[in-house]
Each structure stands twice: as C-alpha cells, then as structure tokens.
Structure 1
C-alpha cells in the first residue's frame, strides 16, 4: 500500500528535466523519451563523444529504497554483460547530485507502439508471426545466457534498419535453467522463468493482430478469440503462449510451431 502511494505521488510530483539542460557539463537534454516504473529516459547529446545517446535516471520513489537502488545497479550490470546487436550498448554511469544515472546507445528506430498507434501500420497474421519468429530469436539468445527480460511489450520492441532491437532491461533478471518453477498464472508476468517471456510474446502478437481489427462500438464486448479471424494454428499458439492451455516450455517448441504456421 505504501509503495503504491509513493509511486502515485512520484508520478504527480516528479517532473522530467527541461530540454536544453546540461548534465555533468556533458549531456544536453534533447527530449524526454518516457517514464517507466524504475527510471526516466532521455534522448541527450553527448558533447564529448559528439553523438546522441540515451540517459536513464533512477526515479525518486526508487531512490529512497535500498531495493530500488540495488535493482538499478543490477540492471546496469546485466546490460553490461550482454554484447549483441539485438540490444543497446551500455556506456557509463554517473550522478546528478543524488540522482544516479547511466548512459547507453540511442536506438534511432521506431517502436511497434509508434508504428501501430501513430502511423497506423497493420499486420496480417503471416506478417505478425514472421515478426514473432525474429523476436523469438532475441528471446532465445537471452534465455541461453540465463536472462529473462520480463517486459517484452510493443513500446520495448523497435525496428531499426529493418532489424528488431529489444530495449529496457529494468525488469530483467537472471535465472537457473536447471531449476523448474511451478507455474503461477496469477504472477506469470514476473516469474523468473522463460514462461514469463512467452506470455509477453503472446500479448505482443495480439497487439499486432489487432492492428487489422475494425471495432464496432455498438457490438458487445468479446474475447480475442471471438473478435480476431485467426487460423486454428495461430489461435492454438496464442493460447499456449498465454498459458490458457498447457504452456510452451522452450523457444524451440515455439519456433517449430511458427515455422509450421508460416509454411501453410
């Protein structure tokens, strides 16, 4: 209860830094990219490197908690540990007075949230699962390195130069592949298990599939299975990803089913 009240107060009182402000005589604020549960991200210009980068600072309601500070440090360690074009490159950390921050590569592409809701992009079933297959390769790489992202959503998946990039590791965690976790459907999104990312992939695919759906305000509310005209194969895959049916246990099983769907 106290944590929720603190977060609400932070949202009301915490203001992003002003455009043009220079941090540590180096990073000039270009714009605020957004606020997450842990941090506020800015598009800034690095005067030393002479290049745009992203600066992420820890939010006030997380700075007052040891757990919040520790999680911010763990996020940086994790991002430093992964070196792959799928993900933004970690640069360095610093402090604005008492506010810790770190900088990383600026990904210049667009998120699927922007593509769908700002540009009106529409994705067919086949296009959706082709994108899902590419995203699955990113997930597979993470899982093979003992990492669960736990926040695979349309604002965190980007297209840059026709390639997918995955950003925002604020909720990511490590996991032991040798430890079998009991499925907890009430907290599936935050499980330290690949099933958490599979669940998120299911919702990601639904957002893309809904891009072609024409809503009728006068029609009664229906489930996604009733509203979307999906093939039987696609519907069964989504049900397994969302753990409605017995869930997938590996990226390889999902990949096998997507390849079969695309070949039909």
Structure 2
C-alpha cells in the first residue's frame, strides 16, 4: 500500500490582530538568475536558511524568525538554481508545495482561524508569516499530557471546525488535517500548512496521514476527506494521542510504518477507537462514519456540547 508521508515543518505565528508588517529589509523583487544549464547530473543545491533564529529545520523547508513577530518559511533546496530540477522528484515536490501554498493563501485571505500570511519574499525566497506564541498544537499536547481541561479541549475542537468550515466555503480542501497543522496563539487555534491543499485546478497532490484518512475510500481530495480527518483531530485533542496509539512521538521510521500499517487496516474495515466515554465522542464517530455532509453540521453539534 502506498502511504502519503508528506515531509513536514512546524510553523509559528500569532493572531491576525497583532500580525506585523512584512520586513522591508527582505527584498520583494524577483532575482534575475533565470539562466538554465542542461546538465542532468548536476547535484542538488542545498538552500541555506536566512539570517535569524532557526525555529524549524525540516526535510523540505526551514522556518526562521526574521524579527520579533515575523517568520520566513524557505525551501531546503534551491530549484531556481538547479538545471536538473525537472528530473528531481524531491525538488519538484518542494517547488510545487510552495507554489500551491501561496496560491491557496491568496484565495483564502485573512481569517481569525487561518495562518496570517504576510506575503512572498523573493530574496531570500520564501513565504512570510506572523509568529505564534504557542507553537503547534501537537507539540503542546505532547508536552502537557493529561493536564488540559476538557473545556479548553472542546474549544479547540470547535475552533478547528471553524477553520475547516471557512476554507470549504472558499472552495479549498486542506487534505492534510492533523493536530500539528493547527497552531496556538493565546490559547486559540490557527490552521496552517496549505502546500498539499486543493482548490479547483490547484492540487497539492497530498492525502492525509494514516490515522487521519480512510484508505478504503477514493484516494482523491474532497470535503469528505477533511471531515473524516476532523474526527481524528478531535480524538487527538481530547485524548492527547492519535487513534490506536499511545501519547508521545514516534521513536523511529519503523515505529511510524508499523503504526500506519495497523491503523490503515483497522480504518479500512471501519474499525475505529471507542469514543463513548469521550466528550464529543459522538461527533468523532459521526466524522469517521460519514454522518456529516458539511462542517457546519459538525459546528452545530459542537456548540451544543459547549452549552451543556
């Protein structure tokens, strides 16, 4: 079975209200290095992170704090200098991810539950965002196992649904929903990482991770894909761990592969974790069992729980 292991980074950003202006010291004009040399054996050219505090050193991108409140996401490899780019799958994927993310963010525009996008930087090349003071939600849960109040967890579930509802209204499918792609600022959630998203003819070409996707369903990005993922996002928020997994990070590639095999087999047979004793458990099951046709219906049920 093929697995969609997108290579990830963790963004950091703040709320829309205190988002800083893009750094005027970062050049906003394209470079003139458009020359191409047709040497198919040219090696990959690593791209160095820009000056500043390196916040994330991922397999495909860096996230660097340029100044207080402003971070820059830059690609690990420089496709604009690589003449062999058409033959390099990794470089092509990175380039596509950055292009798709920029297009999707422009479609979405500002929203209280979506990453504040502050524009494109051309030198160094990358995407500029505001900076959150809480990092990503997955890291927070890993570091605070069993200590978060049910009320705050339920609030996060509602905010996650609000974010997905908004992007669906704008014609965007995230297609990579998991807890790591929600960021914390002042205890509120913001959705990020749109490099694998889809909207009309724009297609990032991703599907969610195992545990957030039912492999028995068609392998295409639809609103139903996001709704299913939300069930696992809610489950993780309420339990501090992914479906059929203990809390904490994967210890190795083998550990993750083993988990993916196991959870894919279970989900393919419509076997999902018990949720009867969990706050919002019926909503989780409803997402997994395709009982919801829209995220608006999910929000309605979550709001009812909050009012209890």
1:255 and 2:303 matched: no
Task: Give the match for residue 219 of structure 1.
Answer: none
Task: Give the match for residue 16 of structure 2.
Answer: none
Match among 154, 157, 167 for residue 142 of structure 1 = 167
- After TM superposition, give the deviation of residue 77 of structure 1 in Å: 1.7
Deviating beyond 6 angstroms after TM superposition, the runs of 4 or more aligned structure 1 residues are: 14-17
> Equivalences for 1:48-87 in 2 at 5 Å?
52-57=70-75, 59=77, 64-65=88-89, 68=93, 69-84=95-110, 85=112, 86-87=114-115
2:275 touches 2:285 (CA, 8 Å); kept in 1? no
Q: 1:211 to 1:189 in 2, by over 3 A?
A: farther
Could you tell which deviates more after superposition, 137-146 or 76-85?
76-85
Task: Count how many residue pairs are aligned between Structure 1 and Structure 2.
Answer: 224
2:176 touches 2:196 (CA, 8 Å); kept in 1? yes
- After TM superposition, give the deviation of residue 160 of structure 1 in Å: 0.7
Match among 226, 234, 251 for residue 197 of structure 1 = 226
Per-residue Cα deviation, 1:175-198 (whole angstroms, up to 9, x for no partner): 49xxxxxxx942659632111221
Which structure's residues are more often strand, by fraction? 1
Match among 29, 39, 58 for residue 35 of structure 1 = 58
1:56 touches 1:101 (CA, 8 Å); kept in 2? yes
Q: TM-score, normalised by structure 1?
A: 0.67
Q: 1:258 to 1:80 in 2, by over 3 A?
A: same
1:120 and 2:145 matched: yes
Consecutive unaligned residues in structure 1, runs of 5 or more: 8-13, 177-183, 216-221
Distance 2:197 2:304 in 1: 30
3-state secondary structure, aligned to 1:147: coil
Q: TM-score, normalised by structure 2?
A: 0.59
Higher RCO, 1 or 2 (CA under 8 Å, sep at least 6)? 2
Distance 1:203 1:163 in 2: 19
